[in-house]
Structure 1
Amino acid sequence: MKLHITYDHPIPINVFEWTPASYRQTPHVHTSLEIGLCLSGQGFFYFGTKRYPVRAGDIFLVNNMERHIAQSDPDDPSHYLFINFDAAMLLAEEPELLLPFSYSSTHFCNHITADSPLARQLAHWIHAIAEELHQKAPGYLALAKSALIQLCGHLLRHNRGLLTDDERQSMVQSIRHSQSLAALVEQRHREPIHLAELADELGLSVSRVSRAFLETTGYRFNEYVSLLRIQSAKHDLISTDKAITQIAFECGFQSLPTFYRVFKTIVGTSPNVYRDSMGFLV
């Protein structure tokens, strides 16, 4: 089961608390990345065929490749604080921050135990992000994003010592290819664009760049193009008085029904309702 994540803030970071069921539910996967801190209780966390025991203070890394689900101990239910965020945000900031989440690493491990210095260090930044997004004090978006970068930076430093030079070089190259493709899509998403043309421009094969992009960001090429087009449409809907039809075509959609369908899928409501609920900024 693939979950679609929407974000409650202008930056693609969500914070939520969760108590898993005491029975094993259907595993799921999502394009976003997650970091979960067990606040209390016990249980298990499943990733594919792996099963990790859980106790308070444990931290779990959730990438965009593995199906996963947590389960609570019936007598002592586990309770988590999760940070969920879009990998594309780190790709734009510093691509190497995505290395700790790379499933291709032979050293990738979902579990950081509570008794490790790293877990205690990361827990500080997880709580900092949650506090900023909850309080929404002046500057909270910048501080929440900064705290996430700090968190991932500490993960990167820990992870760096586990990789061989060849492994790190291969993973970094894959991430850089993804960054180059993302930059081209960012520039041209309002135009008709095709992966084959962009791959040729980057001097890469379609299969290589599409695989690297999916592993790095969790998005297939067409999904990412649609996401950027919808983000542009959302901006135009609340900052201009252009007709919805005009916005749809200017943002790169080739038909109005497709625009409405994709907008509803990503945003959760229609363009009309979204515009009415947000109001004009002009």
Structure 2
Amino acid sequence: MKLHITYDHPIPINAFEWTPATNRQSPHMHSSLEVGLCLSGKGCFFFGSKRYTASPGDLFIVNNEEHHIAQSDPDDPSRYLFINFDPALLLAEEPGLLLPFSYRSTHFCNHIAGSSPLARELTPWIHIVAQELREKSPGYLAMAKSALIQLCGRLLRHYNELLSDDERQVMVQTVRQAQSLAALVDRRFHEPLSLVGLADELGISASRLSRAFLETTGYRFSDYVSLLRVQAAKRELTGTDKAVTNIAFECGFQSLPTFYRVFKDITGVSPVTYRQSMGFCNE
């Protein structure tokens, strides 16, 4: 099962606490990345066929390809603090920060013991992200993003030392290819775009580029293009008095029905309802 993640802030980062059920639920996956901190209690965390016990202070790394689910001990239910974020955030900032999440399941330990120096180094940054998003003090978006980058930078330094030269080379190449595609899409999403055409520009096969982008970001090419177009449309809907039709075409949609369908799929509401909910009642 693949979950659709929405974000509660203008920046694509969520922080939330969660208590897993005591009976094992169906595993899920999502395009976002996660770092989970066990705050209290006991239980298990499953990643595919892997099973880890969970105790207070333990951390768990979740990428956008592995099916996963946590389960609480019936006598001492576990509680987690999760930081959930869009990989595109790191892709735009420093693509290398995605390397710790670009692992292959069978060769990766998702568990960081709470007693380890790494867990003690990472835990304060998890709490800072959560605190900034919860309190929303002036500058909180920048502070939350900065704390997330600190967290992921420390993860990168740790896991980079565990990779062989060949593994590191393959992962770096994959991330760079995804970054190159993302950069083109970010600049030209308002134009008609073709994965084959962009792959030709980059000198990479379309199949390889598509796979690298999905592995790195969790997004299919077409879904990422739609996401950027909807994000641009949201800004226009709340920041201008332009007609919805004009906004749709300016943001790269080729038809109004497609715009309405994609916008609602991503946001859960129509463009007009979204504009009205933000206090803009021109239409």
* TM-score after normalising by structure 1: 0.97
Which stretch shows the higher mean deviation, 48-57 or 271-280?
271-280
State the identity %: 73
Distance 1:128 1:107 in 2: 30
Amino acid at match of 2:189: H
Distance 1:73 1:225 in 2: 42
Deviations 1:139-162 (A, max 9, x none): 111111000000001101100110
Amino acid at match of 1:160: N
Distance 2:39 2:214 in 1: 31
SS in 1 for 2:147: helix
Structure 1 residue 269, shift from structure 2 partner: 1.2
Within 5 Å, give how 1:36-75 maps onto structure 2. 36-75=36-75
Q: Which residue of 2 aligns with 1:240?
A: 240
Which stretch shows the higher mean deviation, 103-112 or 161-170?
103-112
Provide closer, same or farther for how the CA distance between residues 105 and 95 of structure 1 changes in structure 2, counting only shifts above 3 A.
farther
| Residue segments in structure 1 that go unaligned for 5+ positions in a row | none
Deviations 1:110-142 (A, max 9, x none): 110111010111111000100111111111111
Within 5 Å, give how 1:68-107 maps onto structure 2. 68-104=68-104, 107=107
* Preserved CA contact (<8 Å) 1:101 1:108: no
SS in 2 for 1:260: helix
Structure 1 residue 104, shift from structure 2 partner: 3.1
Q: Which residue of 1 aligns with 2:188?
A: 188
Distance 1:8 1:268 in 2: 13
Distance 1:40 1:165 in 2: 38
Deviations 1:212-240 (A, max 9, x none): 00000000000000000000100110111
Distance 1:133 1:140 in 2: 7
Q: Which residue of 2 aligns with 1:265?
A: 265
- Does residue 1:160 correspond to 2:160, yes or no? yes
Provide closer, same or farther for how the CA distance between residues 82 and 281 of structure 1 changes in structure 2, counting only shifts above 3 A.
farther
Amino acid at match of 1:83: I
SS in 2 for 1:279: coil
Distance 1:27 1:57 in 2: 23
Q: Which residue of 2 aligns with 1:220?
A: 220
Within 5 Å, give how 1:140-159 maps onto structure 2. 140-159=140-159
SS in 2 for 1:146: helix
Distance 1:11 1:277 in 2: 19
* Preserved CA contact (<8 Å) 1:240 1:281: no
* TM-score after normalising by structure 2: 0.97
* Preserved CA contact (<8 Å) 1:238 1:281: no
Distance 2:130 2:51 in 1: 27
Distance 1:280 1:126 in 2: 36
* Preserved CA contact (<8 Å) 1:35 1:61: yes
SS in 2 for 1:163: coil
Distance 1:67 1:28 in 2: 5
Within 5 Å, give how 1:19-38 maps onto structure 2. 19-38=19-38
Which stretch shows the higher mean deviation, 107-116 or 142-151?
107-116
Deviations 1:38-67 (A, max 9, x none): 000011111111111111111001100001
Structure 1 residue 21, shift from structure 2 partner: 0.4
- Does residue 1:171 correspond to 2:174, yes or no? no
Distance 2:91 2:24 in 1: 33
Structure 1 residue 108, shift from structure 2 partner: 2.3
Distance 1:25 1:156 in 2: 31
Could you say what the CA RMSD is over the residues aligned between the two structures, in angstroms? 1.4
Q: Which residue of 1 aligns with 2:251?
A: 251
* Matched residues, number: 282
Amino acid at match of 2:89: M
* Preserved CA contact (<8 Å) 1:60 1:111: yes
* Preserved CA contact (<8 Å) 1:63 1:102: yes
* Preserved CA contact (<8 Å) 2:275 2:281: no
Structure 1 residue 103, shift from structure 2 partner: 2.4
Distance 1:174 1:106 in 2: 18
* Preserved CA contact (<8 Å) 1:60 1:112: yes
